Structure 1
Amino acid sequence: MTSGFFDAVAPATFEGPDSTNPMAFRHYNPDEMVMGKRMEDHLRFAVAYWHSFAWEGGDPFGDQTFIRPWHPQDDMGRAKMKADVAFEMFERLGAPYFCWHDADVRPEGANLSESIDRLNEITDYFAEKMEGAKVGCLWGTANMFSHRRWMSGASTNPDPDVFAYAAATVKSCMDATQKLGGENYVLWGGREGYETLLNTDMGRELDHMGAFLNMVVEYKHKIGFKGQILVEPKPQEPSKHQYDYDAATCIGFLRKYGLENEVKLNLEQGHAILAGHSFEHEIAVATSEGMLGSIDMNRNDYQSGWDTDQFPNNVPEVALCYYHILKAGGLGLGGTNFDAKLRRQSLDAEDLIAAHVGGMDICARGLKAAAAMIEDGGLEDALSERYAGWDGAEAQAMLKSDLASISERVLGGGIEPQPRSGRQEILENYVSRFV
């Protein structure tokens, strides 16, 4: 028995680049081989449960626009109806994974015990549905930012009771993630930051967050969870100053608290933009340190100052992201999660399918372009040429020398370096050949 929500929408199929069908894949062919690996296994697409099924269409200036059969999301009957719809959509898209927050899959209970019971009930329901479906759990996480109890943070809260509540919440979500065979567990510290230093002891809060994350890692090993623990950087919104600002900040934090070998990063395109970076930059920072875990694929509106979470539509941007991912060996246990939502005016069931089809196609096209650039080798050749001077024995010896010796060589040898072109426009033109 189906929910009926998607009855008028056929499953998405691959029709090739000449197709004019907006509900069909033009570039995403799961079985197509790219650099010796199936496209599906490279991209590892996941549907975000929260934006796709829990979001009601509000924004900072307006209330609900989506009227779904499972609204209001306040009892377990509607939670199961929402799950029925979700799994029907996973099947229509052929998506191999999904991701979830606890608050999006079950209604809040009267207390934590009831909330955990409801989480266990709905994830048991997920497990039953997963037995007959070709979909797995990429990752689970706890929503510790929406409810008013989290207004001053979770692990960084000045109230130790909130820290304890957060610990119990994360434990329940890790247990549920393991039950569903999840391949990762994510911590998103949306409220782990502050509004003003007038009431904030930053050093203490950072120490508490480090202690909390070490507890998460310890519990992972205690229960035998084989997946990755991931943290997700974001610079602002909702907190004014967030401790997990960007990839570099998170890597520094993880090293400070001895977690660099236990925790990796879940990077989001929209968060990179809010931090003043490109997604390509954030991925390159993480891969250069061996700490890329997974990605949330979306985009922001460059005219808006908040996290608009739109589906990707920029092939050159996406191609450069996958270029760095492929160079680093791929996503491993991670995947490409569509942390993206419809526009408030896109009301129909068909819109939800079309948005994912379009996003998956953009990623597939970007992946193929990235693979073609790697196989062609043009960018690597340009890098080799630009840094060729460092390959010489004298240049390498200089790195182990000292200022006085280097100064003597420069003055004695009459070294007068002349600037060389970075050839940025030529390289941009090169990328354009592939996208």
Structure 2
Amino acid sequence: MTDFFKGLSQVKYEGPESRNPLAFRHYNKDEVIAGKRMEDHVRPAIAYWHTFAQEGGDPFGGRTFDRPWFDKGMDGAKLKTEVAFEFFDLIDVPFFAFHDVDVAPEGETLAESNKNLRIIGDLIAANMQKSGKKLLWGTANLFSNRRYMAGAATNPDPEVFAYAAGQVKAVLELTNELGGENYVLWGGREGYETLLNTKIGQEQDQMARFLTLVIEHAEKIGFKGQILIEPKPQEPSKHQYDYDVATVFGFLQKYGLEKKVKCNIEVGHAFLAGHSFEHELAVASSLGMLGSVDANRNDLQSGWDTDHFPNNAGEMALAFYYIIKQGGLGKGGFNFDAKVRRQSLDPADLLHGHILGLDTLARGLKGAAALIADGEFDKLLDERYAGWNQKGAAAMLKGERSLEEIAAWVHAENINPQPRSGRQEYLENLVNRFV
């Protein structure tokens, strides 16, 4: 045991009336909601990078945190691993997620980096066996090192492509050995700054080849998890190839990969793309692409991805509506891709942030389940589209009537439709009853 969280005990559910700041008020992992335990709906995971690797910096200032494992090489990485599993137990969640460089320091060569990763990977495996914690997903950091300034898979230099491939191979294999349920590809710099030095078609062909290599290797090593792409617009590259769910689906469909890959959707990324979180979930679900999610929020006054902990239960209720409707997240879950603020220096602040996030998700889940059980919301949606169940309309949708036949039908029946209210305000009030 380390003394980083000295004096802190495991967070427990105490109910809505609790005044204990280190207790859950709404997240009761064993409470059954819509036929499943709350924990099984949410499948929460701790993000290794924000919780243990981030230094408190922002675009205008550097490190504010002083963690005892910072700048300590492999010894620091080992200490960080022990602290991480202590935290997983304190906050009492079943999963975690990591990038390779979050858990092990990068070496001078790929071989050295992979050796470091393997050593820490063995330590993680031992802690997983002892604690019962599981890996939601692993991923490789293909964006921080300066070699990736022009992208990884989409880099104009084939040696960078090859280096990234070697890096992903090692992380994918470790993820598989650790029983990871997903492997995520976040194209942090898979995009471009200016067309003056970019061949878009070439770069997208490279990206598709890279993804295909990952899929093939996953199958070769017997990886049973999902391969996920995490959409993100603009930041950091001006034009990202994985802008949003619809863009990712179009890319996958072009290269025949849409049956092999799903999406990991983040609240903050959806917002930066000009969408709502529930929009991206609804689109992904409709396309069979909803695999997993990252839970956070952005500061609405800032123009970048600020990764605050979620605190909007209404937003989460609409998110869970689509998740429950599709039967849950399967092998996916809610990864807390969220970080404490740069002035939140104390170890307890890490607990407070995750308590807030889990309580918010719990309220959203309960609201969505109650909304669905009530039935009026779905009934109103069905009524709005009920006309499409009529014989003539159904024939149009099935392609059984030509344009001429449809026009003739309008004239024969003297069809003259009048607008009907979309009842948006009524529906907003209806949702509000349950959150």
Band the TM-score falls in, shorter-chain normalisation: over 0.9
Q: Secondary structure at the match of 2:243?
A: coil
| Superposition TM-score, scaled by structure 1 size | 0.98
Q: Which residue of 2 aligns with 1:239?
A: 237
Shift of 1:398: 2.4
Q: Are 2:298 and 1:303 aligned? A: no
Letter of the 1:272 partner, please give it.
Answer: A
Q: Distance in 2 between matches of 1:396 and 1:34?
A: 36
Name the amino acid aligned to 1:391. Answer: N
Look up the match of 2:183.
185
CA contact (8 A) 1:91 1:134 kept: no
SS at match of 1:31: coil
Indicate the larger mover: 55-64 or 18-27: 18-27
Q: CA deviation at 1:368?
A: 0.8
How many Å apart are 1:339 and its aligned residue? Answer: 0.2
User: In 1, distance between residues paired with 2:21 and 2:393?
Assistant: 55
Answer yes or no: is 1:175 the counterpart of 2:173: yes
Structure 1 gaps, min length 5: none
Mark the runs of 5 or more structure 2 residues left unpaired by the alignment. Answer: none
Give the C-alpha shift of residue 413 in structure 1. 2.6
Q: 1:42 matched to which residue of 2?
A: 41
**Cα deviation digits, residues 270-300 of structure 1 (max 9, x gap):** 0000000000000001100111110000000
Structural mapping, 1:124-135, within 5 Å: 124-135=122-133
CA contact 1:155–1:212 (8 Å) conserved in 2: yes
The match for 1:18 is 17
Is the partner of 2:88 in helix, strand or coil?
Answer: helix
**Residue 66 of structure 1: aligned partner:** 65
CA distance in 1 between counterparts of 2:135 and 2:232 reads 23
After TM superposition, the structure 1 = structure 2 runs for residues 224-235 of structure 1, keeping only pairs within 5 Å, are 224-235=222-233
Moved more, 374-383 or 164-173: 374-383
SS at match of 2:24: coil
DSSP 3-state at the match of 1:173: helix
SS at match of 2:293: strand
Q: Which residue identity is paired with 2:273? A: A
- Deviation, structure 1 residue 106: 0.8
Does residue 411 of structure 2 align to residue 411 of structure 1?
A: yes
- Kindly state the Cα deviation for residue 414 of structure 1 after the two structures are TM-superposed: 2.2
- Residue 207 of structure 1 is aligned with which of 184, 192, 205? 205
Rounded to whole Å, the distance in 1 between the matches of 2:229 and 2:62 is: 30
What is the CA deviation profile of residues 116-155 of structure 1, one whole-angstrom value per residue up to 9, with x for unaligned ones? 0000000100001111102100000000000000000000
Of the candidates 104, 114, 135, which is equivalent to residue 106 of structure 1?
Answer: 104
Give per-residue Cα distances to partners, 1:172-195, cap 9 Å, x unaligned: 000110111101100000100000
**Is the Cα–Cα contact under 8 Å of residues 97 and 137 in structure 1 kept in the other structure?**
yes
Q: Is the 8 A contact 1:315 1:365 kept in 2?
A: yes
TM-superposed CA distance for 1:35, in Å, is 1.0
In the aligned structure 1, how far is the partner of 2:48 from the partner of 2:395?
54
Matches of 2:412 and 2:431, distance apart in 1: 43
Task: Tell me the percent identity.
Answer: 62
Q: Partners in 2 of 1:290 and 1:236 — Cα distance?
A: 25
Partner of 2:2: 3
CA deviations on 1:232-255 (whole Å, 9 max, x unpaired) are 000111100000000000011111
> What root-mean-square deviation, in Å, do the aligned CA atoms of Structure 1 and Structure 2 show?
0.8
Q: Output the CA distance in 2 between the equivalents of 1:391 and 1:22.
A: 52
Deviation of 1:157 after TM superposition, in Å, equals 0.4
In the alignment, the residues of structure 1 paired with residue 332 and residue 429 of structure 2 have an alpha-carbon distance, to the nearest angstrom, of 31
Q: Shift in Å at residue 344 of structure 1?
A: 0.7
User: What CA distance in whole angstroms lies between the structure 1 residues aligned with 2:129 and 2:284?
Assistant: 35
For the residues of structure 1 that align with 2:351 and 2:164, how far apart are their CA atoms?
35
| 1:405 CA displacement | 1.6
Output the amino acid matched with 1:423. Answer: R
Q: How far did residue 411 of structure 1 move?
A: 2.6
Asked if residue 137 in structure 1 is aligned to residue 169 in structure 2, the reply is: no
Distance 2:344 2:144 in 1: 24
Deviations 1:75-125 (A, max 9, x none): 100001111111000001111000000111111101110000000000100
Report deviation, 1:325: 0.4
The alpha-carbon deviation at position 303 of structure 1 amounts to: 1.0
Q: How many corresponding residue pairs?
A: 433
Partner residue of 1:382?
Answer: 380
1:147 aligns with 2:114: no
Aligned: 1:83 with 2:81? yes
CA offset digits 1:312-335 (Å, max 9, x no partner): 000000110011000001010001
Q: 1:165: which partner in 2? A: 163
**Does structure 2 conserve the Cα–Cα contact (< 8 Å) formed by 1:83 and 1:126?**
yes
User: Counterpart in 2 of 1:29?
Assistant: 28
CA distance in 2, matches of 1:138, 1:11: 21
Match of 2:194 among 193, 196, 204: 196
Deviation of 1:378 after TM superposition, in Å, equals: 1.5
CA distance in 2, matches of 1:57, 1:151: 22
Q: Residue 339 of structure 2 is aligned with which of 291, 316, 341?
A: 341
